[in-house]
Every structure is written in C-alpha cells, then in structure tokens.
Structure 1
Amino acid sequence: MASGSANRIWYGGDWNPDQWPREVWERDIELFKQAHINIVTLPVFSWALLQPEEERYEFGWLDEVLEELDKHGIGVCLATSTAAVPAWMARRHPDVLRVDFQGRERRFGARHNFCPNSPTYRQYSVRLAEQLARRYKDYPGLVAWHVNNEYGGRCYCDRCAREFRVWLQRRYGALDELNRRWNTRFWGHTLYDWEEIVPPNILSEHLDDHDPTRTAFQPISLDYDRFMSDSLLECFKAERDTIKRWTPDVPVTTNLMGAYKPLDYFKWAREMDVVSWDSYPPMDVDVATVAFRHDLMRGLKDGQPFMLMEQTPSQQNWQPYNSLKRPGVMRLWSYQALAHGAETVMFFQLRQSQGACEKFHGAVISHAGTPDTRVFREVQALGRELEALGDTFLGSRIDAQVALVFDWENWWAIEYSSGPSVALKYLPQVEAYYRALWRANVAVDVVSPGAPLGRYRLVIAPVAYMMHPGFAEKVETFVAGGGTFLTTFFSGIVDENDRIILGGYPGPLRRLLGVWVEETDALPPEMTNRIVVQGYPGLDGQYACSLLFDLLHTEGAEVVGRYGADFYAGRPVLTRHRVGAGEAWYVGSAPEQRFVDRLVRFLCDKHGIGAPLQVPDGVEVVERRGGGQSFLFILNHRDRPTVISLGNRRLRNLLADQEIEREVELAPRDVLILTDTHGAGTR
C-alpha cells in the first residue's frame, strides 16, 4: 500500500461511525470529500458491536457504512477491532483478563485488557478476523488491513508463566544451559525444575512498585521482555495469517508507536507487510526527535516507505497540557513524515467523539460539526495539495551513507542494569547523535545490530552495552574496508543474557577500538568534567561531559581528547584507532550536544558526506530519490521567513507548480518540494 500500489498519497484517518446515527455518516462523508480525504480506517474498537454475543455476529451496520464509502470512492483500511475484548467475554471467560505487575487480576475495562497468552482471546480474535476477511474479501475499496491497535502492555498470570517456561525451553533447551546463561548461582537462584520459574514482577524479582526496571535478577527480567514482545507478536501473526488466507494480496499492518520500549519493533516489522505508526509529539518537541522516529520506522524494513497511520489534526488529550497545533504546524509535520519516507498522511480522528476519555482529542470534524473551522480548512488545504501531487514521489527512497544502530534488547538491558548510574538512559544517548546528523541535514538510516553495513561510510552505535554474536566481527570487517565506526562509553560490556564479557571492557570491541577501560566513574548529572581537544581543526576546544567517565588505557589508539579535571585529568577520553583502511572512534563520557554536533560534522566532512543543500539552522532538508529524479523536501521549522539559496540550479516547486532559481524566501513553517526542471534530479 505505502510503496506505490496506488496513484495517490492516502489521506484520511480513523473514523468511528458506530458511535453515530446514519444521518451523521452521510454528513461526514460529504465533509470527507470536501477535505479531499480518500481513505478511512474502521472499525478499530467495535468488537462488542460486531460480536454482541458469543456465537452471534452483527455486520449489517458495517455493510451499510462500507457501501456508502464505496459510492463515494473512499478507500478503506479495515481494522479487526481486537484491541479491547467485549464485556461478555471478560465475564464468561476470565482467562482473557491480565494480571498486572503487582500481581492483581484486572477486571473488564479500558483497552488492551487481554492476556496475550489466553487461549480464549487467541481463539475469538482470530475468529473475528476470519469473519471480517471472509465477508469483505471482495470489497472493492479494501486497500489494507489494520490488525488490533497499538499493541502494548504486559501480563503476569499463571498462563503466561506456563508459556514463559515453554518459551525458555525452546530458547535454551536444557535447564542446565539456562542456569549457566542466567548465572543462577548468584543469590542462590539455581533452578532444578522448569516449574520453579515464575514471572519476574513485584512478587518475585522486582524491587520497586513504581519503577519496573529495578530488578534483582536481570537475566530473567530481560528474557521476560523478549517473551512478552513475542507473545503479543504471536497474537498479531495469528490474525494476519487468517486474513492472508482470504486476501493474500492486501497488505496487513498494525500501528506502532515509534520508540516504544516494550516491543522489539525490528522483530515485529519482519512480520508486517508495511510499517505504520502513530506520531503524537507535544507542542514543545525538538523536531529532530520526531524525525528520528520517522527514520526509525523507515529503518524497520530496510528503508521501505511506511504509513503515518495517526497524528492529531490539532490537539491531543493525553498530555498534561494539550496545546493546539499552531497554524501551519499540522501541514509542516505531515510533510516532514512524507520527507522521511511516509506515503500516507492519516489522522486520529476524523470526527470528534462525544464522550469518554478522548472527547477532547482533536479531529478533522469538531463537535461543532461544521467545515467552518481553522482545523478543517487546514486539513482541506493539505488534502488539495496531496491530491495534486498524485504519485509524484511514491516509491522513492532515501539514500543514506550513515547508519545509526538502534537495539531494543540493548535498551532493555541498559535500563535493567544495577549500575553504574540510575541516570543512564539509552534513548537520549541515541537521540544526541541523531540530532547532530539532523542538524547537519545528513541522511541517516536507523538500523538493527543485525543489519548489513557495507553500503555505509559511517556507522554510529551509542552505548552498545549488549554484544550480539557476530556484531563485533561485522564491524571490524566494515572498518577494515574503509568505514568509520563510532561508539561510546558503556559499550561491549555484556552478552545477550546480561553476563559480563570477561577480559576487560569494551569486550569484543577492545581490539577494534584499541582501548581498555579500567574503571568507570559515575557522578550525579549536575557534576561535570571537560573534554579537551587540541590539534584537530573543527574539533579543538573544551566541552562539558557528564554522567559516566571511562578511565581508559590506549592499546594502539590515538588520543584525540583528554579529561580536563578530577583525579583523571589528562587521561584519554576521546580516541581514534586506525584499522585497515578505516578507523574506529571511542567517546568515553557523555558529552554536551555541542561536542556531539562537531564530532559528527568532523567525521561526515572527512567522508564527504554532506547535506543535499546548505540552509540556515532550523531548516530541514531531506532528499528522496526514485525513477531518475530527486525530490528535495525543504521544511522551515522557524517562526520567521528564511531565504534559501539554490546556487546556480533551476528547480521546480511541485507544491506551487512554478520554476525557481538562485534563491527563494520560505515563509514560517512553510514547505518546498523541489525537483529538477528536466526530471534528471537536483544535482
């Protein structure tokens, strides 16, 4: 769907006609047409209405809705409605209900209220998906399937305990191997029977009701994260498989949530036809972090285009302060998603709900029910633009020469670690290096540790605490062939079971990096040291560093920067090691953003990696390529007009269908999409 199977950008979003009488449906569809909406997702939360009793289904109302949409040529992303179980199911089959981190059995309510290992849930969710797929397999407007909704949550019930033991037996084979890999002789954890294994929650291994990362026994908590991610994935796969039997050529997806910690999305993406995700940044967001999440979603399937499944047309209702999107921001952020690889622009929601916890969440059609609102006019204007663009850049890709390694299991392990600092969090460290690339307008692929590296010139893996088998060897080959690798403190420390890799840090990266870390100091975040660099134009200077401080020895590496204070003043903190035709860099502390920006630019300049266009700070440039053409997205995130110099190039602005040359003034929060006037690219 999102890779050019249609001749247009899909534009629309979640619609809940089951909450409204028929006359409202007709009015909504009329307004959809006015807003150039061409796709709706439905019915996302309608299980109770579709199956009011255990053996009875009611599809009549949905038939009528789909008939009306088909009359008006509006496509449908058909949802399976399985994100919240009906009340009758919870009453008759309590095995569907979750047990929480505190060991309490939940009651019916809210959503994501099901145990992913409940046989009842699996049976009825698959049965509903099959009923829908069989009934609507020939529906002409069906363009995609949307399974469940924003999978998440955890369960610690007895059924999950039994399935966890089965999962562990498949992973480790023998109990002796599990004992070895888990290092169970610590604190007398040795296990003599599989039945002795219980889920790690506050009743067993965890130490804090309010902080689920505080565990006495990291290996079991880490494996339970893997197990829960896999359990929810099995629910998705079960519905997907039955849908595919009836509609093998219709893409199946489920909406992800960006950098969502509990689920290993790289593993999930392998099971999805197309990645889709929901983007809900707050008003004061650093837009680089939004770009990072778009690139992460694109990276889940090796650079394939993705779907922006949800965003709000204006305000949200889950945040402490639900600010309106300022005029132009919705359009700007929509084009940012398209620039980074999206091929849909979709909203939650199309009509604002009348009651319950999302009644103040923004919508294309507000409670007033009229097109005479600021939000509707902005949605309508964007829809007109997207309709005019047609399939112009669909199927084009981003050609990145830089890879940023992102690892969910590493994220889990770092934040379960009992040291060295409670302030060490994985995501901010990754985002710091991404932000530096974004500020330089350098394209980047966000990749898993298992991704091939041969296409890149620069690979950055911040805080690579967990070493997966073969990763160090792969990086060594990459560097020896001429690539540059950069990693940081707290890397190469443990294996996949959170066991220390003996022989000195950074473990299997030690030879490549040419350093040995003897000790690591941990100080409160407000206490800083300095990185002092001399003799490196572009890097020279003094920079604050904090959090962790590696006391390292060089083993062949060149010292580029030294500490400026404390008892380790003068000792190395930034090193470079030449290996074969390439080099490996090590940053031994958490530096301020200014240093990260300069280091990243220094390394990019060395490889001739640059922005597709030189623009002022606060202006984002992303290039998509395809069909022999280049498409330059220029996004002005500033709140003032900005002049963009085009040099000697003559380009066409696709949004205004006009040729421009030399320079152009871009209004606040405005966007350009430029391509060569002869269709040969912008370079």
Structure 2
Amino acid sequence: MFQGKVNKMLYGGDYNPEQWPREIWDEDMRLFELAGIDIVSINVFSWAYNQPDEQTYRFDRLDEMMDLLQKNNIWVSLGTSTAAHPAWMAKKYPDVLAVDMDGKKRKFGRRHNSCPNSPTFRKYSVLMARKLAERYKDHPALLMWHVNNEYGLRCYCERCEQQFRLWLKEKYGTLDALNSAWYTAFWGHTFYEWDEIVAPNNLSEHYKLYGVDVTNFSSISLDYARFMSDSVLECYTLERDAIKEVAPDSVVTTNFQSNGTYKPLDYFKWAKEMDVVALDSYPTSDMAMSYTAMRYDLMRGLKQGQPFLLMESTPSALNWKPQNPLKRPGITKLWSYQAVARGADSVMYFQLRRSFGAFEKFHGAMIDHVGHEHTRVFRECAELGHELQHLDDRIVGARVEAKVAILFDWENWWAIEYSSGPTIDLKYLNIVQKYYDALYGQHVQVDFVSVDDDFNRYDIVIAPVLYMVKQGLANKLEQYTAQGGTFVTTFFSGIVNETDLVTLNGYPGELKKLLGIWVEEIDSLMPNQTNSITMTQQLGKLSGTYTSDLLCDLIHSEGAEVIAEYGSEFYKGMAAVTRNKFGQGEAWYVGTNTEDAFIQQLLEHLCEKKEIKAILASVPEQVEVSKRYKGNQSFLFILNHRDEEVTVPLNNIKYTNLLTNETIEQQVLVDGKTVCILEYHEERTD
C-alpha cells in the first residue's frame, strides 16, 4: 500500500497543533516518542487559517509542523483542510451553505456545512487540494492524503434540485421513462417538464407519520438518496484527482463514519474510488462486541478483502452520548486489537492531545488536560504502541479467509426503510446483524459482499431481507446456486426492482424460480405479538418449535421442500421455512423473523453440510476469535471480553505467542479483557 515505506502497523491519530501554542509542539513530540506514535493526521480543519481570504494562502504553520514531524520520524496523513469552509466564504458566497430537510438555509457554523453541489465549495476545495499537493508532494514525512473528514450531508437547495434534474436526465433519458419508473400515475404526479421535478423533502414528499419520516413517493426519494451519495462522492473525487494530477502515486483516502454503517452514503460505491478504506469506530460498553465486529468485516469487504485503516477511535471517554463513561482498564487495547483481528492495518485515535475548548474538550485523548505522561490512559496507549512496534510488519497486509458471505446493499437498505409498509419495525441492519451474530457466535468467519462481487468464492451466500432485486442479480444467484452454492434469504425479499416498483405475478418476484415458492400475503405482527414455527423434520440441532415475530410470509410451495410450518393464526400449517434444490445447490427461504436459536442452528447445519469449520472449537462464552493469514503464516487472535481469565483449547498445532514469544500447544490462558495473538504455519494453496 505504501510502497515499502512502512514496516509496521501504523499507530497514531488526529493531531491539532493549530489549537496549541508553539511551545507545546516540542513536548508533544517527546510524548509521541514515549507512546510509540508513528503517524498523525493533521490539517483536517485548518481551511480558515490556510486561506484567510479569497486570494491569500499561507502554509507557514503547516510547513513548520511537517518539518517537525519529519525530524521526529513521524509519518503524516495530510488533511486537505476542507471539512469545514471558512466564515468569509459563507459570507461572500451563500451558495456554499446547505439547505436542510425543512427547506431552511443554514448559516455558518458546525462542520459538514457545505452544499456538495455548490460551485464555490467545489472550486475552492479543489484549489486547496491542488496547492497542498504542489507544496508537499515531495515532503519526506508525507505518507498519505486524508480528503475532507467524515463526509455526510444531504442538501435540498435549489442548486441541488437543478443538479438532480440533470442526474435524472442522464439516468432515464426521457420523461416518459422517468414517469414509468417512478409510477407517477399515482396521485397525479406525472411530469411534463424536467423543471417540474423538485427535491423530495419535508416541503414536498416527506412528512412524519407516527413519529417516523415517511415519503409518499419512495421511487423519488430513493433516486435522491442515490444522487446525494453520488454528489458527495464527486466532491471527494474532485479533490482526489487534483492531488493525483500533481502526485500520481499518492495514496488518497477519507474516513468513513458511524462505525461503517452510515446510511446516507453507499460505501461500496465509494470504496471503488479510494486507495484504501479508512474507518472511524467508536464502540461503547453497551454495544455487543459482535456489533463492532460486523462493521469491521463490512469495511474489509468493501474492497474485496483488502485490509482497511482504523483512522479514528478513542483511547478514553466519548463526549457526545447522553452519558460517557470511561473506558475501563485494558479496554482500549482489547478493542483496538479487535479491529486488527478483523483486517485493520492501523490503530489511530481521535485525539492525541485533548482540546481545551469547544465541543470536543471532554472527548478522550492520549494526552489529557494535565499535559503529561503520568496518566492511566497514556500508559495504556504507550503499552499498545510498544506492542505494535514489537509485532513489526508480520500482520500488516494479512488477509481474512471466509467461506460464508453476507450480501449487503445500501440501496436495498434505503428502499426498505422508505417503504410505507408493512411495518415500521423492520430495520435492515437489525436483521443483517441477527444473521451475522449467528456466525460470529460459532466463530465462523464472514465476508460482506456487494451485488457486483463474485459469489463463487463462497460456499454459502446469505442475503437477509433482499427486498430489492437489481437487474441481473436473480440470474447471478441462480448460476451460483446451480453450480453447488447454498443461498439463504428471508421474508420480505424479491419484492421490487431498482426503482422500487413491485415485481408482478407474485412474491418473491424474480427469485420465485430459484426458491421454488410463491408468497401470497405478508402478515405484519403487532409489537409483542408472536407466532411460532414447527419443524417438519429434524436437521442437526434443528427440531421442535421456535417463536417468530415482526413479519410472517404466507408461503405456497412450488417445488420447494417445506422445512417448517406456522403454529398459529389462520395460516397455521402453511409453510414458514423452505428448501429448494436447484442444480447442484440449494436455496433456503426463511419466511419470518425467527428467534435467534433457529438462525444459529440453521446456519450451523448449513456449515456442517459444507464442511465449514469454526476457527476454534469449544471457545468459552464472550471470547472472540478471528484469523488473518499472509503466505503460509496464520495469525490467530483470541480476545477475552470477560472480566476473568479463561482457558481456551487450541488445535493440535505449535503456536508462538507474538506478544510474549512463548511457544504454546494444546491450550492458552487468556486474562480478562486481554488479547492473545498466536502465529503458526499453515500450508496454503491459493
């Protein structure tokens, strides 16, 4: 990735020297050395200083900092400083200000405050990126570029509305095609001129219903979500291209937010434009560890298994939650290694020195307000820094091998939750998480894939709530299954096409042939209402009766074998779960939201049939295992999330504990809230 410049896992984080007097900088260099810091992100929010007016650019402070970091052997992830436009720009060029969902134009303030289609923002952000590239392209401290910061904004201004119309013209070509795709005969919405189309916001198609944001025309809102993701992405690519025109070999990225499942931006599409995926991850003690693990696996999947960068995390407390408890001793290291175990090639913090004013003054940092190294947090950060130095480059670049994939699709997510039925309680991420958790709990590694990826690398492909079936996907799934793959999908799948129009002639639409079923109706259960499903046969541990809730598809078999039937309601005895043999493979349909035990036992049964084994057997509860490999060397991570020590049985292999250099066989003792990293030789043929 970095052309031989880096020989270890990167360790560092966000550094904001512009917030501090010059005499602090030298002290920070001393503290960075003590902690093993070797990379910092700088210049992320410095646009106002770098460009105090339209004509003036000044980089004196940045020059000094770049040289100081180089002198202290610290790499730089150089921000383009465009994450918040200057006040003078908002005053002189109001087109730079975004308009919110209610149609209100924002004033200067906060961040993420720029309209992505503003000519002013695009002009000056690209100029800034180019000037920085021209100035620092050959600087010995420069390792990579960090464009903007945590992109994420939907704007509804007149400029965006105009650009939306142009985007639609390019996509549909004619108004007849658009009217057909959007089903505008409904409620008299037929458009006869392009400028009749307006942005779908709270002044047009959106409103609150029972406290939930809904839209009258999901097709319009879905296209606007696509358009906005594309618009913001274009802001990134414009700055990226300005850098690469000057320095073609530059490594350029930006940092994804919300632990990786940020709804407004299609990260699969974004990842194609990035040299490396970078993530900001802020797990909290009230989150299940599988929640964070799933998002790391998703980040790794965005570029077909390539390692990603953990660009931000916190070594201590957050500041934006209602309550912000301290990270308990050992947690910073444990959670950092969880990212590494699942594909990260860096550990980086926000922030390295704690701000002493404004919104983030109580956000955790390696260097606290006291300003010295004699704190628990600093000692823990330094301990991790020294361990990463000890690991050198052994794990860097290592991959994760999985035989099970989960199909994840941002546009499907948008479409499901824009739907005005059958229930507001259906949340895409919740169902995906349930199926992921079943595999996580069995210590089976999982890749996340997009509709464009190669499914044939996997023995099992799971597509929870595949509501939207994009063009060509049904044929792709049929070919995968016919060649011996196992395909699993769920209730509320195969319903619509890419413009959110229902596929007629019965659910699950284009998937009917593959699944061998017809869904006649979909019953939406009230909160706290349940049904049950009863197995028609025993399959491994699958037997007896299980509860279900949320949605129940009323299924007729058209060749599929009925595996489970409903236990109550007027559809008692109808099929609830089916299996259809298709070519050399089989396709499963789980027609209701079952209890966790059913999903766990189903996936265990399918993995056994495909001879997919857990990384380790007999792993204690609340202990997480993951594995990366490089060549014929494998790296086994054992993360103990419990408070007390545990004994973990190992496979009959000789291991080296990379953190202690001990040779280990048979079993390993792992202290509470700690990690063990074991290296061993494993012959590979790929």
TM range (shorter): over 0.9
1:617 Cα deviation after fit: 2.3
What residue in structure 2 maps to residue 22 of structure 1? Answer: 22
1:149 and 2:152 aligned: no
TM-score (norm 2): 0.98
Matches within 5 A, 1:324-343: 324-343=326-345
The count of residues paired between Structure 1 and Structure 2 equals 680
Q: In structure 2, do the counterparts of structure 1 residues 387 and 627 end up closer, same or farther at CA, with 3 Å as the change threshold? A: same
Q: Secondary structure at the match of 1:283?
A: coil
- Inter-partner Cα distance in structure 1 for 2:381 and 2:534: 51
Matches within 5 A, 1:119-134: 119-134=119-134
RMSD: 1.3
What residue in structure 2 maps to residue 629 of structure 1? Answer: 633
1:670 Cα deviation after fit: 1.3
What residue in structure 1 maps to residue 616 of structure 2? Answer: 613
Please tell me whether the aligned partners of residues 2 and 251 of structure 2 are also in contact (alpha carbons under 8 angstroms).
Answer: no
- Inter-partner Cα distance in structure 1 for 2:483 and 2:540: 26
Please tell me whether the aligned partners of residues 2 and 143 of structure 2 are also in contact (alpha carbons under 8 angstroms).
Answer: no
Deviation readout 1:642-681 (Å, 9 max, x if unpaired): 10112432211111111011111111111111112x6758
1:243 Cα deviation after fit: 0.4
Please tell me whether the aligned partners of residues 539 and 605 of structure 2 are also in contact (alpha carbons under 8 angstroms).
Answer: no
- Residue range with higher mean Cα deviation, 406-415 or 529-538: 529-538
Question: Which among 336, 352, 356 is matched to residue 354 of structure 1?
Answer: 356
- Inter-partner Cα distance in structure 1 for 2:323 and 2:2: 33
Please tell me whether the aligned partners of residues 11 and 346 of structure 2 are also in contact (alpha carbons under 8 angstroms).
Answer: yes
Corresponding letter in the other structure for 1:374: R
1:650 and 2:654 aligned: yes
What residue in structure 2 maps to residue 602 of structure 1? Answer: 605
TM-score (norm 1): 0.98
What residue in structure 2 maps to residue 522 of structure 1? Answer: 524
Q: Secondary structure at the match of 2:105?
A: coil
Corresponding letter in the other structure for 2:344: A
Q: Secondary structure at the match of 1:509?
A: helix
Matches within 5 A, 1:476-625: 476-533=478-535, 534-614=537-617, 615-625=619-629
Matches within 5 A, 1:317-396: 317-396=319-398
Corresponding letter in the other structure for 1:229: S
Please tell me whether the aligned partners of residues 3 and 394 of structure 1 are also in contact (alpha carbons under 8 angstroms).
Answer: no
1:536 Cα deviation after fit: 2.2
- Inter-partner Cα distance in structure 2 for 1:77 and 1:652: 33
1:276 Cα deviation after fit: 0.1
Deviation readout 1:560-593 (Å, 9 max, x if unpaired): 1111111111111011111111100000001111
- Inter-partner Cα distance in structure 2 for 1:43 and 1:251: 16
Q: Secondary structure at the match of 2:666?
A: strand
1:275 Cα deviation after fit: 0.2
- Inter-partner Cα distance in structure 1 for 2:6 and 2:365: 26
- Inter-partner Cα distance in structure 1 for 2:649 and 2:2: 32
- Inter-partner Cα distance in structure 2 for 1:210 and 1:22: 54
1:395 Cα deviation after fit: 1.5
Q: Secondary structure at the match of 1:291?
A: helix
Question: Which among 656, 661, 668 is matched to residue 664 of structure 1?
Answer: 668
Corresponding letter in the other structure for 2:375: T
Q: In structure 2, do the counterparts of structure 1 residues 488 and 4 end up closer, same or farther at CA, with 3 Å as the change threshold? A: farther
Q: Secondary structure at the match of 1:90?
A: helix
Matches within 5 A, 1:402-441: 402-441=404-443
- Inter-partner Cα distance in structure 2 for 1:365 and 1:562: 59
Deviation readout 1:294-338 (Å, 9 max, x if unpaired): 011111111001000000001111111111111111111111101
Deviation readout 1:525-565 (Å, 9 max, x if unpaired): 31001121142231112211100001110011111111111
- Inter-partner Cα distance in structure 1 for 2:594 and 2:90: 51
Please tell me whether the aligned partners of residues 466 and 492 of structure 1 are also in contact (alpha carbons under 8 angstroms).
Answer: yes
- Inter-partner Cα distance in structure 1 for 2:372 and 2:391: 27
1:212 Cα deviation after fit: 7.0
Q: Secondary structure at the match of 1:643?
A: strand
Matches within 5 A, 1:2-17: 6-17=6-17
Corresponding letter in the other structure for 2:645: P
What residue in structure 1 maps to residue 105 of structure 2? Answer: 105
Corresponding letter in the other structure for 2:443: N
Please tell me whether the aligned partners of residues 545 and 592 of structure 1 are also in contact (alpha carbons under 8 angstroms).
Answer: yes
Q: In structure 2, do the counterparts of structure 1 residues 211 and 192 end up closer, same or farther at CA, with 3 Å as the change threshold? A: farther
1:189 and 2:189 aligned: yes
- Inter-partner Cα distance in structure 2 for 1:442 and 1:367: 43
1:211 Cα deviation after fit: 6.0
Between the two proteins, what is the percent identity of the paired residues?
A: 57
What residue in structure 1 maps to residue 455 of structure 2? Answer: 453
- Inter-partner Cα distance in structure 2 for 1:71 and 1:637: 39
What residue in structure 1 maps to residue 465 of structure 2? Answer: 463
What residue in structure 2 maps to residue 205 of structure 1? Answer: 205
Structure 1 unmatched runs, 5+: none
Deviation readout 1:469-491 (Å, 9 max, x if unpaired): 11111111111111100000000
- Residue range with higher mean Cα deviation, 83-92 or 605-614: 605-614
- Inter-partner Cα distance in structure 1 for 2:434 and 2:624: 17
Please tell me whether the aligned partners of residues 524 and 552 of structure 2 are also in contact (alpha carbons under 8 angstroms).
Answer: yes
Corresponding letter in the other structure for 2:581: R
Corresponding letter in the other structure for 2:573: G
1:263 and 2:265 aligned: yes
Please tell me whether the aligned partners of residues 652 and 660 of structure 1 are also in contact (alpha carbons under 8 angstroms).
Answer: yes
Please tell me whether the aligned partners of residues 102 and 209 of structure 1 are also in contact (alpha carbons under 8 angstroms).
Answer: no
Deviation readout 1:17-55 (Å, 9 max, x if unpaired): 000011111111110000000000001111101111111
Structure 2 unmatched runs, 5+: none
1:475 and 2:470 aligned: no
Corresponding letter in the other structure for 2:560: A
Please tell me whether the aligned partners of residues 253 and 275 of structure 1 are also in contact (alpha carbons under 8 angstroms).
Answer: yes
- Inter-partner Cα distance in structure 2 for 1:110 and 1:648: 56
- Inter-partner Cα distance in structure 1 for 2:669 and 2:14: 36
Corresponding letter in the other structure for 2:247: T
Q: Secondary structure at the match of 2:673?
A: coil
Q: Secondary structure at the match of 1:391?
A: coil
What residue in structure 2 maps to residue 236 of structure 1? Answer: 236
- Inter-partner Cα distance in structure 1 for 2:408 and 2:325: 31
